[in-house]
Structure 1
Amino acid sequence: MTLLAVERIKLFSTRSPYWCSALALALGVGITAIFAAASDGPIPLGLTQIGSGQLAIAVVLVMAALAVTTEYRFQTIRATFLAVPNRTSALVAKTVVVAFIAALLGEIVAFGSWGVAKLISPESDLAINTAAEWRHVAGIGLIYAFGAVMAVAIGILVRQSAGAIAILLVWQMLAENLIGIIPKAGVKIQAWLPFMNASHFLSMGSDSPEQGGQGVDFKLSEWGSFGYFAGIAVALLVVALVVAKRRDA
């Protein structure tokens, strides 16, 4: 518990968590508000998460990567490893803190977006009744949490803010979508890409804007896709911990 408290204090002693949280909230809620206000009629529940599931998560990935790369940049990671010789414990504690904050932020963004849409478009049927609907909204926090784990792992491996952020943003926002244009094999590959599976987990069907990888034949169920996404994040973290333990700080 002491390590978790220390990592929480270190994280919030910098400005990046505050700015990133504010930006994620603004993007998630703001984009939903724009779409709801511009709609001529009732909006579907899927539209309420159009910002939180696509753009706001990119900001969360940046926040998680900065949580570790900033320490490498200013060499405070050396003091951390001197105080806690077990590097694995220190880095796992950091990951847990960042993932928890990301999950909490994800739920705030998701339900904040849903609430704003309900306020702007009261005639819309935005009740959350089915398991798929709950997964679509409440599942945002789970994706943010394991996305943060993945970002921390990349940060540990790369150790440079610019490099880690570039990898994460290109991977999440560009690379996985571009793979789909590869003739024949593209959609087959997409079915096993992590962020595509994250979008599949959040999907409610063809009427949802969050239906990731349209035309992709996912081999896993929605919860199976989440487990796959979480497994890749944890596997990346394990690799990062092994590398961090073997090289100089």
Structure 2
Amino acid sequence: MTLANVTRSETTKQFSTSMWWILAIVLVAYVGFTAAVLGFVFAAASSGSLPGDAPQIPSEGLAVILYSTATAVGYVFPLLIGTLMVTTEFRHKTLTPTFLATPQRGVVLWGKIIVGVGVGVVFGVLGVLASTVPSAALLAGYGLPTALTSSETWALLGRMILAFVLWVLIGIGVGALVRNQVGAIVGVLVFTQFLEPVGRAAAAFVDGLSDVTRFLPGAASDALVGASVFTAATPGAASGDALEWWAGGLVLLGYAVVLILLGHLVSWRRDVT
């Protein structure tokens, strides 16, 4: 089979099951709710509407921080969908007929990568809309600037979609390397929801640790986007220690390339059954 036929087959596999749209709905609900809550609190605090002696925060840069919620808290969803794109086939042995039809396994992996880019764009657009719409509405409601007329804001939104694409590719690499679906998912969740956040938070208090943590995938993703609720909430994890946006993108791409190559060399060429 040619790469075009393999890609068409992979597209059918991914979009003929419920896995992608269930994760998409959860992504939109989770990111939308988080953005709405943060938008309400931050906008109220910036406009001085919070009760009591709550401190007033500056409105400058607030819009992009809220818009970046999609990547700051939602990057685990494209990572999971990329992992499931591969591990589901190992689990249900659907790779066996695929490899029989296409003995060139590298072509099959390229088909998954191409489809993964498309899935990443879809999830990226949904994530951007889920974080931008409620945030912009709340900012406008409190009379604060939405920054939607700024080209820099649109560039940030574009980089957010790129980050989603790279996270899907990283997930494909993880799935190709760790064939066990439960192990891969547990590993992804432990690292993204516990190990890296703890490490990045610790970097705010331990001298020199940020020189290491800024190269972690989540930190590289935030650097690529150019804004993050996480870095805004932990000033010590300082933006001055962050990578340039293009460097963050290259680091994230590097993770994807290394994991996919390792998966291809170590696991992808082994017997499925």
Give me the TM-score of the superposition, normalised by structure 2.
0.81
- Whether 1:238 and 2:238 are equivalent positions in the alignment is no
1:200, distance to aligned residue in structure 2 (A): 1.4
Change over 3 Å in CA distance of 1:92–1:80 after alignment to 2: same
- Whether 1:98 and 2:116 are equivalent positions in the alignment is yes
CA contact (8 A) 1:107 1:138 kept: no
CA RMSD of aligned residues (A): 2.4
Please name the residue that 1:45 is paired with.
63
Please name the residue that 1:55 is paired with.
73
Please name the residue that 1:173 is paired with.
193
Which among 152, 173, 179 is matched to residue 153 of structure 1? 173
Provide the rounded CA distance (Å) in 2 between the counterparts of 1:117 and 1:89: 42
Percent sequence identity over aligned pairs: 21
1:7, distance to aligned residue in structure 2 (A): 0.4
Provide the rounded CA distance (Å) in 2 between the counterparts of 1:76 and 1:142: 29
TM-superposition CA deviations, 1:137-168 (whole Å, max 9, x none):
22111111111111111111111221111222
- Whether 1:75 and 2:75 are equivalent positions in the alignment is no
Change over 3 Å in CA distance of 1:19–1:93 after alignment to 2: same
Please name the residue that 2:10 is paired with.
7
Q: Residue 231 of structure 2 aligns to a residue in which SS?
A: coil
TM-superposition CA deviations, 1:64-114 (whole Å, max 9, x none):
211111111111111111111011111121122123212222123213421
Q: Residue 72 of structure 2 aligns to a residue in which SS?
A: coil
Change over 3 Å in CA distance of 1:194–1:131 after alignment to 2: farther
Change over 3 Å in CA distance of 1:192–1:113 after alignment to 2: closer
Please name the residue that 1:115 is paired with.
133
1:135, distance to aligned residue in structure 2 (A): 3.6
1:195, distance to aligned residue in structure 2 (A): 1.9
* Unaligned residue ranges in structure 1 (runs of 5+): none
Letter in 2 for 1:68: V
CA contact (8 A) 1:21 1:60 kept: no
- Whether 1:138 and 2:158 are equivalent positions in the alignment is yes
1:174, distance to aligned residue in structure 2 (A): 2.2
Provide the rounded CA distance (Å) in 2 between the counterparts of 1:103 and 1:130: 22
Figure out how many residues of one structure are paired with residues of the other and give that number. Answer: 246
- Whether 1:30 and 2:29 are equivalent positions in the alignment is no
Q: Residue 59 of structure 1 aligns to a residue in which SS?
A: helix
Letter in 1 for 2:12: I
1:217, distance to aligned residue in structure 2 (A): 5.2
Please name the residue that 1:197 is paired with.
220
Change over 3 Å in CA distance of 1:220–1:131 after alignment to 2: farther
Provide the rounded CA distance (Å) in 2 between the counterparts of 1:218 and 1:118: 29
Change over 3 Å in CA distance of 1:144–1:133 after alignment to 2: same
Provide the rounded CA distance (Å) in 2 between the counterparts of 1:130 and 1:121: 15
Change over 3 Å in CA distance of 1:245–1:118 after alignment to 2: closer
Letter in 1 for 2:28: L
- Whether 1:227 and 2:250 are equivalent positions in the alignment is yes
Provide the rounded CA distance (Å) in 2 between the counterparts of 1:216 and 1:126: 22
1:185, distance to aligned residue in structure 2 (A): 4.2
Provide the rounded CA distance (Å) in 1 between the counterparts of 2:196 and 2:134: 30
CA contact (8 A) 2:128 2:157 kept: yes
CA contact (8 A) 1:87 1:244 kept: no
